[in-house]
Structure 1
């Protein structure tokens, strides 16, 4: 398992110039039984993970994967740092945040090429909403404090001249609990993923004020491509377990390839029933909205990594853009081989 000591020694591994993973010959995974942490697995944000799991793609690569679902990405990250998880299916920007704290983690395969996060205000609690300044003093629901949904909310608030301390963030998860929190009036606004946000939008419960569920919307909010979900782990784990990382990338890219041609009925048959949140039609409407946000081949875009760093640095003074080595936050070595294998 990964420990806090692992992270501090990871920098030494990289500084020592250990051979890049692409130089290793492929073979049997060094570690076959893996614990993967995820924050809000039912969200479309993590659909590639669910597809690869449900269709047996991890098993096909010789991996015995146990996936633990947490309330949000920040808690999944804590599982990695604390040693109860080997790998996280989570937001890419955590790799930048952790490097700013001297802890090296690395993305090994991308799942989403747009954040798929929308911010909306309650039409019940904030019927007279006009500008971002109106959010001051309000309660904003996020999947979990410190998660990607929280980061996007922080960015949007900063553009309205507000700081994170000007509002109260409330963890509501990414499924039925999030719907209930907004509809019951417990929160005044929400930053969350689909299918939750589309369901609230379609029922008239929220007014969307910022939207990154499409590539166009992502460009408008971030000014460029913005990577989203990925599989990430400690830099040391990557160095010690290249075949395992390749197997993980293979499984995810296999799922991404399947998603390229999957129809609505294929999705419905594959995901667990409780993911539909009781509304099959709206679930499929949500899927159609975010479909283009799913990565095609698992490859990280360099421009996207720069956009993520710029966005984080714009509202978090602890992140110094000139101190971050983006090349150490991700590797495309595994995804590139998987892309070639599956013709993704």
Structure 2
């Protein structure tokens, strides 16, 4: 082993030694689990674009990993898959780590993919005259990727903040791609809480009027009062403990994807993703990418104030969490992302 390899090995070892709550493990440069399964809820959504970049640019393979991606109907379903043991890791909403910690289940994020939720809440154009804000949502059908997912919780949070109850409007799962577009166009739902490229497609077609937009820092602060981490890579704590090299390699791939995305042109992204992601409208997809680029994490690390913002929203929405006392330091291990960002 040459000097460079020794330094790299030492860096990986340091990440495992310093990860809070974990004990040292015998380390090697090869991943303990080179073949693994990853769950995601709506992979074609721009919310999960860093995953597609890591896959299509070959960043997982560069790390010696073979990652099988299982795409579920929504974030809540991919969480269920992790808990049930059918996937090893998940790209999903940060909030799920808080919920699991509150239930005594050690689920932790290891890299932030989205620093803003990138969720847009909009009303069907026909109803825009009488629906001006979330205060007017009572009794209306709200379309989301899946009940229990971040799109649903964001809509419910907006309602509660506007003085309504989270149960004042029915939440309807409409999927993540063409089915979501159809749900609005066919009048199956009145409100849509969703993500790009679905949002930009409906905006461009004149089907919706946007009321809340968390694709930007300003829009996120307007709703949540501060930053609000969105998509992350999360896993069971025991997985990181038993597979620290594998975990580091996964994080390395995602951080490289974030760095690529930070300077990529929308055309670069459109040329990389599968054709079906474009929803049959490449110019529209380019606009959607441009609209969403501000929302992606720059460092892979979630700031404590952002974590607290998510927790505060959950406490407001969920009676089971209202009196909880989750240690947020246990919801996110930042050691792996710091090591990946340093290039060690």
TM-score (norm 1): 0.91
Alignment match, 1:89: 91
User: What SS does the corresponding residue of 2:319 show, helix, strand or coil?
Assistant: coil
Select between 258-267 and 25-34 the one with higher mean Cα deviation.
25-34
Contact persistence 1:106–1:329 (CA under 8 A): yes
Q: Give the length in aligned residue pairs.
A: 326
1: distance between equivalents of 2:266 and 2:137? 37
Using the TM superposition, give the Cα deviation of residue 264 of structure 1 relative to its aligned residue in structure 2, in angstroms. 2.2
Residue 134 of structure 2, aligned match among 132, 151, 155: 132
Residue by residue over 1:149-195, the C-alpha shift from the partner in whole angstroms, topping out at 9 and shown as x without a partner, is 01101100101222232111111112111000011000010100111
Alignment match, 2:64: 62
- Give yes or no for the alignment of 1:47 onto 2:49: yes
Alignment match, 2:338: 336
Structure 1 residues 65-214: aligned runs within 5 Å: 65-125=67-127, 127-214=129-216
1: distance between equivalents of 2:51 and 2:58? 11
2: distance between equivalents of 1:131 and 1:284? 28
Residue 226 of structure 1, aligned match among 225, 228, 244: 228
Using the TM superposition, give the Cα deviation of residue 294 of structure 1 relative to its aligned residue in structure 2, in angstroms. 0.7
Structure 1 residues 304-319: aligned runs within 5 Å: 304-319=306-321
Select between 313-322 and 257-266 the one with higher mean Cα deviation.
313-322
Using the TM superposition, give the Cα deviation of residue 128 of structure 1 relative to its aligned residue in structure 2, in angstroms. 2.3
Structure 1 residues 18, 107: CA separation in 2 closer, same or farther (over 3 Å shift)? Answer: closer
2: distance between equivalents of 1:40 and 1:164? 24
Contact persistence 1:77–1:88 (CA under 8 A): yes
2: distance between equivalents of 1:279 and 1:165? 36
Using the TM superposition, give the Cα deviation of residue 287 of structure 1 relative to its aligned residue in structure 2, in angstroms. 0.9
Using the TM superposition, give the Cα deviation of residue 27 of structure 1 relative to its aligned residue in structure 2, in angstroms. 2.3
Where does structure 1 lack aligned partners over 5 or more consecutive residues?
1-16
User: What SS does the corresponding residue of 1:259 show, helix, strand or coil?
Assistant: helix
TM-score (norm 2): 0.91
User: What SS does the corresponding residue of 1:318 show, helix, strand or coil?
Assistant: helix
Where does structure 2 lack aligned partners over 5 or more consecutive residues?
1-18
Tell me how large the CA RMSD over aligned residues is.
1.8
Contact persistence 1:109–1:335 (CA under 8 A): yes
Using the TM superposition, give the Cα deviation of residue 20 of structure 1 relative to its aligned residue in structure 2, in angstroms. 3.6
2: distance between equivalents of 1:34 and 1:194? 28
Using the TM superposition, give the Cα deviation of residue 276 of structure 1 relative to its aligned residue in structure 2, in angstroms. 0.5
Contact persistence 1:100–1:320 (CA under 8 A): no
Alignment match, 2:285: 283
Using the TM superposition, give the Cα deviation of residue 25 of structure 1 relative to its aligned residue in structure 2, in angstroms. 5.1
1: distance between equivalents of 2:21 and 2:133? 51
Using the TM superposition, give the Cα deviation of residue 48 of structure 1 relative to its aligned residue in structure 2, in angstroms. 0.4
User: What SS does the corresponding residue of 1:339 show, helix, strand or coil?
Assistant: helix
1: distance between equivalents of 2:320 and 2:331? 17
Using the TM superposition, give the Cα deviation of residue 207 of structure 1 relative to its aligned residue in structure 2, in angstroms. 1.3
User: What SS does the corresponding residue of 1:253 show, helix, strand or coil?
Assistant: helix
Alignment match, 2:4: none
Contact persistence 1:74–1:146 (CA under 8 A): yes
